[in-house]
């Protein structure tokens, strides 16, 4: 695999996990996870399928391609605002080096939105991160096909399920459809190429009819308006993961509220 942004992220992630394991061993983390009864039993997949808007609002401070989006962002204020505005679910980026997040952000989001499903958005490549997600009280994790071999992905998905976490499988290409198994709860099409970080919403339309039936379909990245969401819904998508379009504004939660109002207005005859 050529040296691209994803390659750099994964290499750094392995180092990060190694450092974390020196501070808290796998055995210690297992004990913490077993004792930490999740106060949240929220289902991401169920929330997406019952929501009138299907929006997964993301908390993201920065991007590898665009730099800082909102460096002073208050995670509790914004995620709490998202939940109050009517988000179907939250996505919290916990990668620090490339996205400016941390594990504490997810814990703060949980306190702010106890009854809203939370997706831990990170580059998960290890069982250690699965246990972290349980301890942090996430409801679901993201597994990225481009970052994992098929057997690695299957093993991590099964491990996540054993701890009660739902799994959102992210793909970007036709070839990655081979990763689809009965181990996933939702499937997402990333409109952003994680190698180059080029974004094109047409990727979701291109793959729409090839996605497996019976689970929620999520379109991720590059979505900014009600018109695009309505077209994606017509194409078969149930959920829409959005971050930058909210986070770059002065009031992300208010931006979400306005978008939901536009969607509701568009539904009226």
Catalytic site includes residue 244:
no
Contacts of 15 (CB under 8 A, 6+ apart): none
* Annotated catalytic residue within 58, 176, 244, 255: 58
C-alpha angle 123/128/129, rounded to 5°? 35
* Annotated catalytic residue within 170, 176, 244, 255: 170
Catalytic site includes residue 220:
yes
Count Cβ atoms below 10 Å from residue 182 Cβ, excluding itself: 9
* Annotated catalytic residue within 190, 191, 193, 203: 190
Contact 239, 217 (CB under 8 A): yes
* Annotated catalytic residue within 45, 193, 219, 221: 221
The C-alpha atoms of residue 157 and residue 53 are separated, in whole angstroms, by 27
Tokens (6 digits) for 4 = 């691209």
Catalytic site includes residue 170:
yes
Catalytic site includes residue 27:
no
The C-alpha atoms of residue 212 and residue 84 are separated, in whole angstroms, by 32
* Annotated catalytic residue within 121, 159, 166, 191: 121
Catalytic site includes residue 121:
yes
List, in sequence order, every beta strand (DSSP E) within 173-226. 186-190, 217-220
The C-alpha atoms of residue 171 and residue 199 are separated, in whole angstroms, by 14
The C-alpha atoms of residue 43 and residue 149 are separated, in whole angstroms, by 27
Q: Return the H-helix or E-strand segment holding 258.
A: helix 252-267
Catalytic site includes residue 221:
yes
- The phi and psi torsions of 129 (rounded to 5 degrees) equal -70, -30
The C-alpha atoms of residue 268 and residue 22 are separated, in whole angstroms, by 56
* Annotated catalytic residue within 13, 60, 108, 159: 60
* Annotated catalytic residue within 220, 238, 244, 255: 220
Bridge partners of 91? 58, 119
Residues with catalytic roles: 58, 60, 121, 170, 190, 220-221
């Amino acid at each position: 695999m050529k040296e691209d942004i994803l390659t750099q992220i994964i290499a750094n992630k392995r180092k990060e996990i190694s450092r974390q394991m020196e501070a808290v061993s796998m055995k210690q983390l297992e004990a913490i996870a077993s004792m930490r009864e999740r106060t949240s039993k929220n289902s991401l997949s169920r929330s997406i399928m019952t929501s009138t808007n299907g929006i997964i609002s993301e908390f993201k401070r920065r991007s590898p391609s665009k730099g800082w989006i909102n460096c002073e962002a208050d995670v509790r204020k914004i995620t709490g605002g998202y939940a109050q505005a009517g988000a179907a679910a939250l996505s919290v980026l916990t990668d620090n080096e490339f996205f400016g997040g941390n594990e504490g952000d997810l814990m703060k989001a949980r306190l702010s939105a106890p009854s809203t499903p939370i997706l831990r958005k990170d580059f998960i490549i290890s069982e250690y991160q699965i246990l972290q997600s349980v301890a942090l009280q996430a409801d679901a994790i993201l597994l990225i096909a481009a970052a994992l071999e098929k057997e690695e992905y299957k093993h991590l998905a099964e491990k996540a399920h054993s701890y009660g976490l739902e799994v959102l499988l992210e793909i970007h290409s036709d070839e990655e459809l081979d990763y689809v198994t009965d181990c996933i709860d939702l499937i997402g099409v990333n409109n952003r190429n994680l190698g180059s970080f080029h974004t094109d919403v047409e990727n979701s339309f291109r793959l729409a009819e090839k996605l497996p039936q019976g689970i929620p379909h999520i379109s991720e990245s590059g979505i900014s308006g009600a018109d695009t969401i309505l077209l994606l819904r017509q194409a078969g998508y149930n959920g829409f993961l959005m971050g930058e379009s909210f986070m770059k504004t002065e009031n992300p939660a208010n931006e979400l509220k306005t978008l939901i109002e536009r969607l509701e207005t568009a539904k009226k005859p």
